Chains A and B, each alone.
Chain A
Amino acid sequence: MVVIRFIFDSVREMFRGPREYWMWLLALSLVVLFGAWRYSEQITEGLVVTGMSDQVSWGFYISNFAFLVGIAAAAVLLVIPAYIFDRKDVKDVVLVGEGMAVAAVTMAILFVIVDLGRPDRLWHMIPGIGRFHWPVSLLAWDVLVLSVYFLLNLAIPFYVLYSRYRGKEPNFRLYFPFVVIAMFWAISIHTVTAFLFSANPARPFWHTALLGPRFIASAFASGPALIIITLQIIRKLTSYHVSQTVIDLLALIMTTALQISLFFVGAELFTDFYNEGAHAASIHYLFFGLGGFSSLKAWIWFALALNLTALVILMIHPLRQRTVMLNIACVMTFIGIWIEKGMGLVIPGFVPTPLGEIFEYAPTSVELSVAAGIWAFGILVFTLVAKAVIAIEQGKLSCPPEEQRYTL
């Protein structure tokens, strides 16, 4: 069967490459293994090895989760120009974007799983044999939308690549409906993730209608930042053609999204601080500290500084068009949003607690190691997928019709 040969060929392609490529895979695997080893510690000891407490019951894991869902959603920024506006240059790289979405969703799901107290009971979520509290629980929603998004981002590229592999053009009519679904789905995964937080009146810091839009805006800033850098790396390391127009387009989107994102942050700050009520305690803790505790203060100001500097760079055309400056802005945005939407969003929701207690959180080495392992795993997944995608897109990997006759 051609499908089996396709999969076989792709996998073989994934593990074919120069020595540096192998070293890269090896290095990533080592980090993954290290993370897995530290995770085993968490499995045997319990979540007591993390820095989380009853006071701050979610920490570094869920912070990364929230951020990564955004990265996954940002793939839509390539999907829309590619399939809806039919831009040839974007179409060339859209599969890379979807590969990134797959990797990001994988990481996001892994981050949720390592955060569970009882991962052995995951099957309780399976409808039928378990109890899936859908549509009431927002977490059930999130699991649902993430899994479907994951499947969509596997299925569409699979079909497109498979067609290429067989030397055919993919049937636009066949996959277009799925592309449209995937588009809306991308927005939905991040909206649902935002709603997961904003649905809680118990946590005034999250309980704002602005959280959904804020999530989308910051995702559309950090996502393109990552894509821009990745595309440049691909351009550098492979012979794959990445058009500069794609990067320009993404840079423009990113500029706008970052502007909107910062505007939203400003709106939050104004609303909370103009007439500072009890509901502003969390944001006060985040930006200025509370009751003598201020471990996030330096981070959030750092993030804000990064984002603002990046914005300035991006808004000045001559600067943005210089690759080096653009890259600096991308790195800044990525880190800035990672702090702001990760720890900067999740932790203050818990400080102070609903009973007004101030108790701080800091990730332990186990949490950091496990997180590093998951990131490495995501990068590994992306590397492998991208490797195969590029080979097929370049036509290096194919099974022309005349050969298909001989393949079962």
Chain B
Amino acid sequence: MNSVFLQCVVGVICLILLPAQAQETPDSQQPLRFEGYPGVPEFEVVPRKDELFFYPCGQCHEAMEPNPEIRTLNTMHDAEIEHGRGRIWCLSCHNLENRNYLNTLLKELVDFDEAHLVCGGCHANRHEDWYFGAHGKRVANWQGERTLYNCTHCHNPHSPAIKARAPKPAPPVRAGLKLEPGIKHERSAVWDAQEEHEEQ
């Protein structure tokens, strides 16, 4: 483990985690560090904060009155949250008192660099897979130091489904030959029957 990582860990641990109702001085709080499942190989997470456009959020929010009322925002943030099918809203994940942190459903503080801890609150199975490398992406190597992309690197938390986009070009055939168009791709007859049934 390199020293940068150690410093990060130490730094994170230094922030004391307190129950949500006891939060007073944000800087002395310790955000959640979920140590994960037994046997999880060591890893570090690609930091995320420096990629965030508005961060630190406190810059603006410090001057604003916290408003816990569930509502649709008509500000510079995403108005529609295509996530959770209406069961969550901003403050499900963002901390009310300290906007520079996220929080879990239990209102435990979470650093933006450790956003996966928030996601894992609901998506526990995915989260576990992510720890072990079966979900998400690892950076550059398969051996040696294990660096993982955070959930939020790939999924926009406000609209996490991966968007459809154009595929790269279809395969060519070997030089000098050409693909005859019009292959009729058959498919299982069951599906034709099903479609017919739906049309009726």
Contacts and interface: CB of A to CB of B under 8 A. Distances in A.
Interface of A: 48-49, 51, 53-55, 291-293, 358-360
B173 A292 contact: no
Contacts of A53: 173-174, 177
Contacts of B175: 48
Contacts of A293: 180, 183
Nearest to A364: B176
B196 interface: no
Interface in B151-200: 173-177, 179-180, 182-186
A291 B180 CA distance: 11
B182 A292 contact: yes
21 contacts: A48-B174, A48-B175, A48-B176, A49-B176, A51-B177, A53-B173, A53-B174, A53-B177, A54-B174, A55-B173, A291-B183, A291-B185, A291-B186, A292-B182, A292-B184, A293-B180, A293-B183, A358-B183, A359-B173, A359-B179, A360-B180
B179 to A, nearest CB: 8
A283 to B, nearest CB: 16
A63 B58 CA distance: 76
Contacts, number: 23
Secondary structure at the B interface, as helix, strand, loop or mixed, is: loop
Closest 9 CB pairs of A and B: A291-B183, A292-B184, A291-B184, A53-B174, A48-B176, A53-B177, A358-B183, A292-B182, A48-B175
B183 A292 contact: yes
A54 B177 CA distance: 11
A187 to B, nearest CB: 38
Sort chain B's interface into a size bin.
Answer: 10 to 19
Contacts of B182: 292
Contacts of A55: 173
Contacts of B173: 53, 55, 359
Nearest to B181: A292
A53 B185 CA distance: 21
Contacts of B174: 48, 53-54
B191 to A, nearest CB: 16
Interface string B58-97: 0000000000000000000000000000000000000000
A41 to B, nearest CB: 13
A292 B173 CA distance: 18
Nearest to A45: B176
A55 B179 CA distance: 11
B18 to A, nearest CB: 58
A49 B177 CA distance: 10
A55 B172 CA distance: 12
Contacts of B183: 291-293, 358
B72 to A, nearest CB: 49
Nearest to B177: A53
A285 to B, nearest CB: 12
A156 B176 CA distance: 47
A384 to B, nearest CB: 38
B188 to A, nearest CB: 11
A48 B173 CA distance: 12
Nearest to A49: B176
Nearest to A362: B177
A297 to B, nearest CB: 15
A293 B177 CA distance: 16
Contacts of A358: 183
A23 to B, nearest CB: 38
A358 B175 CA distance: 17
Nearest to B185: A291
A277 B98 CA distance: 64
Nearest to B171: A357
B182 to A, nearest CB: 6
Contacts of B179: 359
Residue of B175, B176, B177, B179 contacting most chain A CB atoms (<10 Å): B177
A112 B8 CA distance: 66
Contacts of A51: 177
A359 B169 CA distance: 19
A55 B174 CA distance: 9
A304 to B, nearest CB: 25
Given A51-B177, A291-B183, 5 more contacts: A53-B173, A54-B174, A292-B183, A292-B184, A359-B179
Contacts of A360: 180
Contacts of B184: 291-292
B177 to A, nearest CB: 6
A172 B44 CA distance: 85
Nearest to A51: B177
Contacts of A359: 173, 179
B190 to A, nearest CB: 15
Nearest to B174: A53
Nearest to A53: B174
Contacts of A292: 182-184
A360 B177 CA distance: 10
A335 to B, nearest CB: 28
A53 B172 CA distance: 12
A360 B180 CA distance: 9
A247 to B, nearest CB: 46
